[in-house]
Amino acid sequence: MSTSLRQTFCLALVLGFIPSGVATSFALPLPTPPPQAAAQDSLYKRLGGYDALAAVTDEFIGRLATDPKEGRFFVGLSTDSKVRVRQHVVDFLCVASGGPCKYTGRDMVTAHTGLGITEEDWSIAVKALQETLNKFKVPDREQQDVINAVAPLKSQIVGR
């Protein structure tokens, strides 16, 4: 998996970064469909559906929120804001992977303008994402498919 594609998915997941009060850790393995079904199923289904996306999101956000550099993006949001942003991330991933959700959040440029997300921030988030996906034993094919689905977003997120 290329670094730039991993980087794109990583910050796309964050969508404005979710505070630590929302992040919880789940140890749910993502289900792996039979090989014949995987070729026909949507990425959403191959990833394990809504609950699996929510669990991965929570773990990933927890990693970012506790990171010494990335934690700054999680300061100052109310509990309600934390919950709303987290839901936007889950819905965004659901839609991006072909699921039945509807994303109602802001576009990527609007959501990230003023945050000052740097290449270093992106790299830290990529590492956190990779560790999260590996923890949940997401197969390489699915990791690559998710990254390919959101790869074009990097330019709308970094440097805004």
Whole-Å CA distances, 153 to 4, 82, 122, 150, 156: 11, 22, 12, 6, 5
Say yes or no to pLDDT of 52 above 50: yes
Q: Taking all residues of the chain, what is their mean pLDDT, rounded to a whole number?
A: 78
Helix, strand, coil % over all residues of the chain, rounded to 5: 65, 0, 35
Looking at residue 43, its pLDDT comes to 93
Q: What is the pTM of this model?
A: 0.72
| More confident position, 81 or 34 | 81
- Structure confidence by residue, pLDDT tens digits, 107-156: 999 999 999 999 899 889 878 888 898 999 999 999 988 777 776 788 88
Domains and their CATH numbers in the chain: 3-19+37-157 (1.10.490.10)
Looking at residue 10, its pLDDT comes to 40
The residue written with tokens 């969508």 in the block is: 15
- Structure confidence by residue, pLDDT tens digits, 6-50: 333 444 444 333 333 333 333 334 344 445 554 579 999 999 999
Q: Return d(Cα 69, Cα 72) in angstroms, integer.
A: 6
Torsion, CA 78, CA 100, CA 36, CA 59, rounded to 10: 0
What is 131-153 written as a DSSP string? HHHHHTT--HHHHHHHHHHHGGG
103: left (phi over 0), alpha (psi -120 to 50) or beta: beta
Q: Return d(Cα 129, Cα 75) in angstroms, integer.
A: 20
| More confident position, 57 or 123 | 57
